[in-house]
Structure 1
Amino acid sequence: MIKKLFFLSILCSLPFASQSQGLESWNAYPSYSTINSITLNEGEIFSATLGGIFSVENGEISHQLTTLDGLYRSNPTTIIADTDNNRLIAGYIDGNLDVIDLETNEVERIEDIKRVSRFNSKSINAFQVYENRLYVATSFGIVVYNLQNLFVENSFLQLADFDIGVQVNDLDIVSDTIYAATVQGVAYGSLNTNLVESDNWVNYTEAEGLPANSVQEINFFNSQINVLIDGSIYTQENNSAWTLHPEFPASGIRSFQKSMSGQELGAASASRLTIIDTEQNSESINLSLESSITEMRFDSERIFLGTTNEGLVVLENRNSNADFYLPSGPYLNFFGNLQVEDNILIGTSTTSFPSADAFAFLRGYYIFEDGLWNNFNRNTNPALNNTAYAFSVGSNDSSYFFGSWGDGIIKHQKSTNEITQYDRSNSSLLGIDENPNYVVISGLDDDSENNMWAVSYWAEFPLYVQLNETEEWIPFRGRAGSSLYFNLFIDSFDQKWISLVNSDNVGQGLLILETGEPTDPNDDRSVRLSSAISNGNLPDDKINAFIQDKNGEVWIGTGRGIARFIFPELIVEGGPEERQAQWLINEDTTAASRFLLRDVNVSTMAVNDANQKWIGSVNQGIWVLNDEGSRIIKRFTTENSNLISNNIESISINNETGEVFIATDLGLVSYLDIPKAPVKSMDKLKVFPNPFNYAKHSRIVVEGLSESTQIKVLGVDGIVVNELTAQGGRISWDGFDYSGNRLGTGVYFLIAYEDSGRETGVGKVVIVK
């Protein structure tokens, strides 16, 4: 089968901060490749994906909705069209509903199910629209909404003899009878009775011949109940025995649905469709897919399929070629470690200690350059056929490096895109003690000579180096006793900072290694630090992140807060005092703790050109700290911003533009921050908005600054009305004078001086009071 692939380069997929993204605004980089649910509205096909919602109409991608457009979360579990009211309804794992007006794209949030306190799990699993009502299958029963006013009209919590609050996975409604697939069997009842009363429901379980109690999907077709159980379709014959449906494959079914007319029933396996009609006529369609089918919808001619990583597949008729629709973006909606270099974002699609899942062999890496996502994994590149779980990342002048979980190191040549894989078969790399062929590369970083260093987790030789422009990996024996190397960071003095964990991923402190001449193991020196007051005073023995700031200080993020080493170059050769970690002191003397962010489980850190620190955490969002780490400048969570998850995996900053890339467990977003890289030589400053009006604007932005500058603001009479201090190439100012008062209407000059005092940049702004 020939594929036709339709991509759309959309605004939210532009590479780095564009003119459309204003300062201090958010951008989303979703993957729409994995589809959870499909619905149709007057010929428009809507797909709910891990990254949001998109639609196809007349062969073109039309609607695209993400959290930045008002969606509650990035991954709706199910969607359905309310065609009478031209709306789309999306459900989520925690019970929230989004009702989307398809004319205005306005989103109304319905939280009745989420607010339920009686049951812990409140996931929305399926929808049915019937006679102007929305029937919602939840993990605690069925909830019924009136679609005219979106009020809850009823809830069915006990279905005959099933437990109260039984999980309902799917629904079907035919001729005023509702059929429910639950984890305890099948239930059905007449809508003409009071279904709040459990006696008005009928159950089928294993006791009544059902092959198993947990039912995934249900369809009433041709006067028979049909259910999907563990990949097989069973049908009830003559209201008694349950047997395998003779017209469908015996196993491997991913989805089965009725046609929109109700006259056909279709089943989809990984790449094969089987469709029968009411006369039991059957047809099969084989597809050429690189992924598996997740969802199926069809009418008398067209077939619509959701896939695990190829987006939406449409067959305009049953004999046609498949059309593939997928908005431009990353291959998967999973991100691990990020790194920005020369306006190019590279990243992996998992973090450490991955677990097996349906995407295991597709968790490769991304290179995002000039507005294009280049996705590298087993499906996209034959050179990666033997690689899975890329999660650590590094780069030098010539190549990108990616560490994998079990498959060694991937070297990606920047100029040619040539890929080389190093593992036990073609290099000196040794893997874990139990299986030396299983090479886990948990840390990568380059030194000042462009040599690439790698940590081989739980291995006899835990550290390796590949000298610049060579292919050999030189091994180093461990210097930390029984503890295990994990994360790796190399500072500006070429010292290796290595976090230590045991086999249960419990922190064992920090190793700082000075290797001297890389080929000579005899000149190596090291020191091991811990949370002991007399030996490092680390906030915690689990070290998760490292950065070196503009002042040369090395900061560590731990399972219980942050500390810094002011003179890292003295740690190895110095004494206990030089090795003492400095915890962050809160400048707010009224705070509950004198230590800033003392109990935060830090997952990642980054530093911008104003020497401010971005701190990501496990399930607590993001903090931005001033250069000294004594004050919180900004705080981002899902509650107060467009951050899509509070669980932060990685942060990396493009200092050329100020765009901060944030990998979360739900996908990738970015924030366009004010600080950016300084210019090499100041001249004319860019000042905007210009004119500045207090009634319309909140700040004046000044661009084109050197590394460290002082700015004097003068009126036309030459009197200085304010002075500003800037780190990096861009700052903002509220337009007030020394005393915090608004300035009068007029022209004001901004004169920037470098630290040396030399006047180097001039700009002006018109202020309207």
Structure 2
Amino acid sequence: MNQIKSVICLIGCCLSIHLGAQNIPLGTWRTHAAYQMVKSLALGNNKVYAASSNGFFYVDQTDNTLNTMSKISGLSDTEISQIAYHEALKTLVVTYQNGNIDLLKSDEIVNIPTIKTNKNITESKQVNHILIQGNNAYLSTDFGIVVLDLSKNEIKETYQNLGVNGRSIAIKAATFSQDSVYIATENGVYYAPFNGSVNLQDFNAWQRFEPSTGIDTLEFNYIVSFASKVYVGRTNYELYEYAHNNQWTKVSLPAPVAPNTGQIRDVRASNGQLLLSIDHQLLLLNAQNQVTIFTNSKLNSPQVALVGANGVIWIGDGVNGLVQKNGTTYNAFFPNGPASAESRHLYAYQSQILALSGGYQFDETPLNSSAGFYLFDNAQWKNYNAFDPLHSHAIANVKDWVAAGLNSQDQQLYIGSFQSGLYVFKDNALTSVAGSTLRASTDNTVRVGGITTDVEGNLWVTNPSDDIARRFLHKRDVQREWSVVSAPTSATGAPLGILSSFGGYLWMRLSPAASAGIWVYDPQLNRSKVLNTTVNNGNLPSPRVYSMVQDKEGQIWVGTDKGVTVFFNPADAFQAAIDASKPIFDGQNLLRAEKVSTIAVDGGNRKWMGTNNGLWLFNPDGTQLVHHFTTKNSPLPSDIIYDVTIQPQTGEVFVATDKGLVSYRGTATTGEQTHQEVKVFPNPVRPNFNGLLGISGLVDDAKVKITDVSGKLIYQTQAQGGTVSWDLRDYTGHRAKTGIYLLFSTNADGTETLVTKIAVIE
């Protein structure tokens, strides 16, 4: 198993772990998972495994290291639901929300996609609980119990329709006690004898405990065996015990103490202890049901707990990651990453990437996200939110961050909320922009939809509303004076995203829900125009516009729910007739069957496009497909792409999906007028390197030749912006031999040149 590893020291606080190099090789991926919300744990082989909302990591206690794994390092999927370890077989069972299964063995990862690919299962395929018994793993699901043979790496059988009269019921968890198997379900607790003569696939073998036995037949979420008894619990702080006397008894639990709300997150028997994970507390029960309560600032939202060697307790916390309780000492740690898997909007500025968690639904109803925002700088994430003061930079509880813009004149970074207006972000602090003329919507929220600056340094902010009379464009000039522009009556939708064109016009996409098209505003002459699907007035393929970007030639590319169109001459927006053109790819309008949610332009003027069917890269004019990345051929966690942005100096493409963030090191960067800190990576090239060699920092669209030391031409190409990639093969397809190679780079007229060396070791 290939993984990323970092040495850690357990010092009683969250560690900021540096994972990997600052820049990754060309053509490779890296994941940016959120590791803080740990929801499942497993102990085995002297390791502590932790699954978060969209990440996976483990502590190797033999060398005190923290390790991460993902699709990049061999896992088959994302969004883990449950994990469990079989000590004798040295196998970690990893199940995913879509029903996929991985078995992590000592020397391989075995994928079992049987449940995931079964089209006959109409219920949720997520595994709710894993029980290890013998060489089998019993997987509790909403459609039944799946028996997985871990020695043969195959599904052995499935128990379905176990309810009264063969009714289909969701199974929440299972346990074995004495000679029977017990299950917690959506309508009570069932049991059946467990021996070779009983067919557990027959619902007649199962019996339900009726109210006469002391428990009701409503949903139970947890069931475990402990101290020769069976314990069953539900989230509303109820726990019952069964001593095999056909009678259940309610366990007396201590009254919840604030801020505990009395909600059970998990019940687990581990190493001779019964553990209840509840809000802000961990309860430990002995065989006599005597309760010990553990509280600590690092126990914010315990989700699951296990007892390891020497009585050390490991807790998966919903805020503090993996927490170790060793005596009276609590240590919380997790790999560096965004605080949450929520990422909807991305913004690149200087050498940093800003990820914003907020958003709105199709009808512009706010999502009410409080996850804050995350800043990627020098290969590390810094988090800004109100809910996690232990590990993040504390900011006000502002909801639904949706837009950002850097003003090149005053170097101020402005961030907009879809509920609370406009802010300046500086020195790790937020300040509400004073004197703003932004106006409240009918729900008393101050909505910012988009932010941009023009060449003169004026700040422009869209102010959408659910009321057409309250839809505005606001300007803050270099003297910090505000003025307001009302949307024209023909703009029937709220103004959202905005860009400033090279010609000085402001282009705003209007609400897709209103099928309203694009509002173009000329600040010099104070005139407006709304472009739509009408011929000579935009000729858009659809009035539902989801994305806009200006490329390096000043053309404006527009993404709709029926593909892509381009305004080649946006300066003609106010001419009597202006129509967009539809690029032709594969004999039809570009992505005509796709909702194009985002478009980004890289250093080579190529177009990255995100849809609900993955990530697409096209050549500069959109006529040739370079890449189409999906979950099937890449580490993308989802095919639903929210946003894409590109770090211009490195060409790293950041992708926000509905299941988290990843990035891909593209082969194009922003070129310069002169050669700037030219970097060759890797250099030297080692024998085990099979990727693309990258050369960055070149002049824009440089012509590049690579020769051996005798001057024989090996390879030549033209840079994508300021970057060139080389697969280390010559024109005959043979790999370069050991030696020193010379790279010659020049601009179009030969006035700017560079020579550097590349060492290859085979």
Which TM-score tier does this pair reach, normalised by the shorter chain? 0.7 to 0.9
Q: Distance in 1 between matches of 2:527 and 2:752?
A: 47
Equivalent position SS for 2:158: strand
Quick one: distance in 1 between partners of 2:111 and 2:117?
12
Tell me how far apart the structure 1 counterparts of residues 676 and 647 of structure 2 sit (CA, whole Å).
23
Report the equivalent of 2:403.
Answer: 392
Shift of 1:273: 2.6
Query: Aligned-pair distance for 1:34?
Result: 0.7
Q: For 2:676 and 2:473, how far apart are their aligned partners in 1?
A: 47
**1:520 paired residue number:** none
Among residues 607, 613, 616, which one is paired with 2:610 in the alignment? 616
Cα deviations across residues 27-46 of structure 1 (Å, max 9, x unaligned)? 11211001121121155322
Confirm whether residue 368 of structure 1 aligns to residue 373 of structure 2: no
- Residues 1:349 and 1:174: Cα distance change in structure 2 (over 3 Å): same
Q: 2:639 aligns with which of 619, 640, 646?
A: 646
Deviation at 1:420, TM superposition (A): 0.9
Change (3 A) 1:696 1:385: closer
Match of 1:755 in 2: 748
* Mean CA deviation greater in 172-181 or 677-686: 677-686
Alignment of 1:378-457 (within 5 A): 378-379=386-387, 380=389, 384-397=395-408, 398-413=411-426, 416-422=427-433, 427-432=436-441, 434-435=442-443, 437-457=444-464
CA contact (8 A) 1:37 1:47 kept: yes
Partners of 1:705 and 1:730 within 8 A in 2:
yes
Shift of the alpha carbon at 1:223? Answer: 5.7
The within-5 A match list for 1:569-584 is 569-572=571-574, 574-576=575-577, 579-584=578-583
Cα displacement string for residues 109-148 of structure 1 (whole angstroms, at most 9, x for unaligned residues) = 1122223332123211110111221111122100112222
The equivalent position to 1:607 in structure 2, one of 601, 611, 616, is 601
Report the Cα offset of residue 400 of structure 1: 2.1
CA contact (8 A) 1:510 1:529 kept: yes
Distance (whole Å) between structure 2 residues aligned to residue 411 and residue 175 of structure 1: 64
Runs (5+) with no aligned partner, structure 2: 1-9
SS in 2 for 1:4: coil
Choose from 85, 110, 113 the match for 1:108. Answer: 110
**TM superposition score normalised by structure 1:** 0.86
Offset at residue 387 of structure 1 (A): 1.2
Indicate how the Cα distance of structure 1 residues 492 and 276 shifts in structure 2: closer, same or farther if over 3 A, else same. same
Please tell me whether the aligned partners of residues 562 and 602 of structure 1 are also in contact (alpha carbons under 8 angstroms): yes
Whether contact under 8 Å (1:42, 1:83) holds in the other structure is: yes
Q: Tell which deviates more after alignment, 252-261 or 362-371.
A: 252-261
CA deviation digits over 1:12-66, x for unaligned, max 9?
Answer: 4x5x52xxx2210111121100112112115532211123222235494533212
Deviations 1:77-128 (A, max 9, x none): 1100111122211111111111112x44x32111222233321232111101
- 1:464, 1:473 within 8 Å by CA — same for their partners in 2? no
More divergent stretch after superposition (191-200 vs 662-671)? 191-200
Q: Which amino acid aligns with 1:638?
A: T
- CA distance in structure 2 between the partners assigned to 1:560 and 1:602 by the alignment: 8
Partner Cα separation in structure 1 for residue 713 and residue 134 of structure 2: 71
**Structure 2 residue aligned with 1:64, among 63, 68, 71?**
68
Task: Determine if contact 1:224/1:235 at 8 Å carries over to the other structure.
Answer: no
> How many Å apart are 1:269 and its aligned residue?
2.1
**Corresponding residue for residue 254 of structure 1:** 264
3-state SS, counterpart of residue 64 of structure 1: strand
Bigger shift: residues 756-765 or 39-48: 756-765
Change (3 A) 1:216 1:44: same
Task: Give the partner amino acid of 1:760.
Answer: T
SS of residue paired to 1:675 = coil
The Cα of 1:731 is off from its aligned counterpart by 2.0
Instruction: State the secondary structure of the residue aligned to 1:143.
Output: strand
Among residues 266, 282, 302, which one is paired with 1:273 in the alignment? 282
How does 1:506-521 map onto structure 2 within 5 Å?
A: 506-516=514-524
**Once the 2 structures are TM-superposed, how far is the Cα of residue 480 of structure 1 from its aligned partner?**
4.1
Give the alignment partner of residue 193 of structure 2, picking from 190, 197, 210.
Answer: 190
1:706 maps to which residue? 699
For 1:287 and 1:163, how far apart are their aligned partners in 2?
Answer: 46
Structure 1 residues 644-723: aligned runs within 5 Å? 644-682=637-675, 701-711=694-704
Q: In 2 relative to 1, CA 265–606 (structure 1 residues): closer, same or farther, beyond 3 Å?
A: same
RMSD: 3.6
Q: Which of 478, 485, 500 is matched with 2:495 structurally? A: 485
Contact 1:23–1:672 (8 Å) recurs in 2: yes
Q: Distance in 2 between matches of 1:200 and 1:734?
A: 63
Contact persistence 2:189–2:217 (CA under 8 A): no
Q: Could you say which residue in structure 2 is the equivalent of 1:180?
A: 183
Alpha-carbon shift at residue 490 of structure 1 (Å): 2.1
1:136–1:685 distance in 2 versus 1, CA, 3 Å: closer
- Cα pair 2:94 2:103 within 8 Å, conserved: yes
Moved more, 684-693 or 58-67: 684-693
Q: What code does the residue aligned with 2:66 have? A: S
1:164-179 alignment, distance < 5 Å: 164-179=167-182
- Please say if 1:153 is aligned against 2:162: no
Q: Map of 1:313-328 to 2, 5 A cutoff? A: 313-317=323-327, 320-328=328-336
2:476 alignment partner AA: L
Output the amino acid matched with 1:603.
S
Structure 1 residues 484 and 657, CA, compared in 2 at 3 Å: closer, same or farther? Answer: same
TM-score (norm 2): 0.87
Q: For residue 405 of structure 2, give the secondary structure of its aligned residue in structure 1.
A: strand
Task: Give runs of aligned pairs for residues 225-304 of structure 1, distance below 5 A.
Answer: 225-235=230-240, 244-249=250-255, 252-262=262-272, 264-289=273-298, 291-298=300-307, 301-304=311-314
Counterpart in 2 of 1:561?
A: 563
1:334 corresponds, among 329, 337, 342, to 342
Contact 1:205 / 1:213 at 8 angstroms: preserved in 2?
no
Q: Secondary structure at the match of 2:521?
A: strand
1-structure distance, mates of 2:191, 2:155: 21
Alpha-carbon distance in 2 for matches of 1:735, 1:72: 30
Q: For residues 224 and 513 of structure 1, do their structure 2 counterparts lie closer, same or farther at Cα, with a shift above 3 Å needed? A: same
Partner of 2:204: 199
* 1:140/1:164 contact within 8 Å kept: no
Q: Note the C-alpha offset of 1:230.
A: 4.1
> Which 10-residue stretch deviates more, 714-723 or 529-538?
714-723
Aligned position for 1:31: 34
Q: Is the 8 A contact 1:254 1:295 kept in 2?
A: no
State the secondary structure of the residue aligned to 2:270.
coil
Alignment of 1:12-23 (within 5 A): 12=20, 16-17=22-23, 21-23=24-26
The answer to whether the Cα contact below 8 Å between 1:38 and 1:45 also exists between their aligned partners in 2 is yes
Structure 1 regions of 5+ residues with no counterpart?
517-522
> Residue 68 of structure 1 aligns to a residue in which SS?
helix
- The more displaced of 77-86 and 468-477 is 468-477
Q: Do the aligned residues in 1 keep the contact of 2:600 with 2:646 (CA within 8 Å)?
A: yes
1:519 corresponding residue in structure 2: none
Partners of 1:335 and 1:351 within 8 A in 2: no
Q: 2:231 touches 2:242 (CA, 8 Å); kept in 1?
A: no
> SS of the counterpart of 1:228?
strand
Using the alignment, how far apart are the partners of 1:396 and 1:229 within structure 2? 53
Query: Using the alignment, how far apart are the partners of 2:676 and 2:462 within structure 1?
Result: 46
- Summarize the Cα distance change of 1:266–1:547 in structure 2 as closer, same or farther, 3 Å threshold: same
Work out whether residues 14 and 333 of structure 2, in 8 Å CA contact, stay in contact via their aligned partners in 1: yes
Q: Secondary structure at the match of 2:488?
A: coil
Change (3 A) 1:260 1:539: same
1:475 and 1:37 mapped to 2: Cα distance?
Answer: 51
User: What is the aligned partner in structure 2 of residue 4 from structure 1?
Assistant: 12
Residue 124 (structure 1) aligned with residue 127 (structure 2)? yes
2: distance between equivalents of 1:173 and 1:626? 59
Kindly state the Cα deviation for residue 202 of structure 1 after the two structures are TM-superposed.
Answer: 1.2
- Higher deviation after alignment, 51-60 or 325-334: 51-60
2:87 corresponds to which residue? 83
